[in-house]
Chains A and B, each alone.
Chain A
Amino acid sequence: MSLLNRQHSVLPGFGLSFGISVVWLSLIVLLPFTALVLMSTKLGWSAFVATVGAERVIASLKLSFGASAVAALINAVFGFLLAWVLVRYPFPGKRLIDALIDLPFALPTAVAGIALTTLYAPNGWIGQYLAPLGLKVAFTPLGIVIALVFIGLPFVVRTVQPVLEDLEKELEEAATCLGASRGQIFRRVIFPAVLPALITGTTMAFARATGEFGSVIFIAGNIPLVSEIAPLIIISKLDQYDYLGATAVAVVMLGLSFVLLFAINAIQWWASRRHGGGR
């Protein structure tokens, strides 16, 4: 497989598909990014560093990326579990659950934020039971994580699901016949096949979470240094007509996400090449 992979002279269409992708990518993504980056360079290096190095900005970046990472990990575990259950087990109400998975996409993020706040506020449906336990969710960083889990969940489920569906049962059957236990099969056969998709899904959930604004502001509390997310900093700079400052923070966020995404993609690419023949 890996040998063929390198020849790939058999399949045509590289020029066309690559061409379309690059043109569209340039128009929709690269050009606007360039505008953004150029705008932030107008600020000058020292002002850029001062803006980005401000205590509040640093705190908000830490919060945004930290909460996103926690939420992405939670989603990786439960998203995988959900995809597994949906693909493998029959149970009543399965279609409904399957349909529900997309909900976080369809609901405008602000509505999600409002709905979650309604639930988790100290007088909310769920919050009223948590409050006596001393557990505060809404208006704390925990609330932010909850909102981010909500918006990130479909990414993991919807990327893992098709791969699981395509997984050939014959492999598992063969392994079973050869005497492998269920745990072994999972570790050796199923998990490696699903891993690239799982990483992709988790990465997407993470990436999406770092930039999320609408659903978070309602539940966050927005107290500087405690529960103020980076996108809010950008908005508040825009509200003061501080375009340059806003673009500076945006560029840093982008840079951080880019590096993280790039690293993950590189790992995945490397893993799939190593794993290339193992299908």
Chain B
Amino acid sequence: MSSANLTTEAPWVRRVLIAVALAFVTLFLLVPLVAVFWEALAKGWELYLAALVEPEAWSAIKLTLLTAAIAVPLNVVFGVAAAWAIARFEFRGKSLFTTLIDLPFSVSPVVAGLMYMLMFGANGWLGPWLAEHDIKLMFAVPGIVLATVFVTFPFVARELIPLMQAQGQDEEQAAMVLGASGWQTFWKVTIPNIKWGLLYGVILTNARAMGEFGAVSVVSGHIRGETNTIPLHVEILYNEYNFVGAFACASILALLALVTLLVKTLIEWRIARQREGAKERTLEARLAPASTH
């Protein structure tokens, strides 16, 4: 910390940069957010709360949370595996592989929904087979999960790859040389090193999973109280000129994003404390080796 003045800019540069960044955030993020809450509360708290406890809104909230709870872990497993393969090994076709992972970003969400429809819809490749066996994928929860997995597919991997590349693999190699097994190395060295990147990835995946509209809209069927997620419900309300309700539900998504960030901050704080605690304990242990187990 003593070297802080060596590795930072002159105060005026700092202030200008902060000011520019703040201005940008205000213009592009803060004002739209305020607009959402402004509209949501335009007719008072009672109407705002009423819009949220309404059964259809409630079922949309539950469905959204369920979808995220399934889609996020799936993509975390994939993302870590893909990042490990890409950042730690050289193989042919790596660029192609990386590009394919990115591809879901550039697909218009509507097209994503369409693709699944071409596969699983009643007239799709597997549609007749699914219908015969009474398996409902489209216009039901599995379809919504699939579409969500698709649109959030690259986040974790994309977050981890540059990070793991920047970190290099010296530490892992050292652990291996010292006799740790592959899994031990992974859990004890890699995961602690990438945890922030991973957490960002999870937060992004989660936020996007809850907010996705286009792809889900194609495969959901819009059955009220059953296959409507929050974003779909927002659209419905907006189209009913129920602006308060629409923005109230939208504000829930914004709040969920803020809550995930709060959770992240909490985790950060606890880990920092644990570390300090651990330091103290090792100190104590050193001072009185006999007293500890």
Contacts and interface: CB of A to CB of B under 8 A. Distances in A.
A178 to B, nearest CB: 11
Contacts of B102: 203-204, 207, 261, 265
Contact of B36 (A111, A161, A213): A111
Contacts of B106: 207-208, 210-211, 253-254, 257-258, 261
Contacts of A91: 18
A5 interface: yes
Contacts of B21: 78, 81-82, 84-86, 97
A29 B7 contact: no
B109 A193 contact: no
A109 B230 CA distance: 12
B143 to A, nearest CB: 12
A63 interface: no
Contacts, number: 329
Interface stretch (B111-119, B134-142, B277-285): B111-119
A107 interface: yes
B98 interface: yes
Interface string B254-275: 1011101110010000000000
Contact of B213 (A28, A100, A109): A109
Interface in A156-203: 158-159, 161-163, 165-166, 169, 172-173, 176-177, 182, 185, 193, 196-197, 200, 203
Nearest to A162: B197
Consensus secondary structure, chain A interface? helix
B96 interface: yes
A14 interface: yes
B111 A200 contact: no
A50 interface: no
Interface residues on B, range: 35 or more
Interface string B168-194: 110011001100001001100000000
Interface of A: 1, 4-6, 8, 10-14, 16-18, 20-21, 24-25, 28-33, 35-36, 39, 78, 81-82, 84-86, 88-89, 91, 95, 97-112, 114-116, 118-119, 125-126, 146, 149-150, 153-154, 158-159, 161-163, 165-166, 169, 172-173, 176-177, 182, 185, 193, 196-197, 200, 203-204, 207-208, 210-214, 230-231, 234-235, 238, 246-247, 250, 253-254, 257-258, 261-262, 265-266, 269, 272, 279
Given A12-B176, A25-B82, A111-B250, 12 more contacts: A10-B172, A11-B169, A20-B78, A33-B103, A89-B18, A162-B159, A163-B163, A169-B3, A193-B166, A211-B105, A214-B214, A272-B165
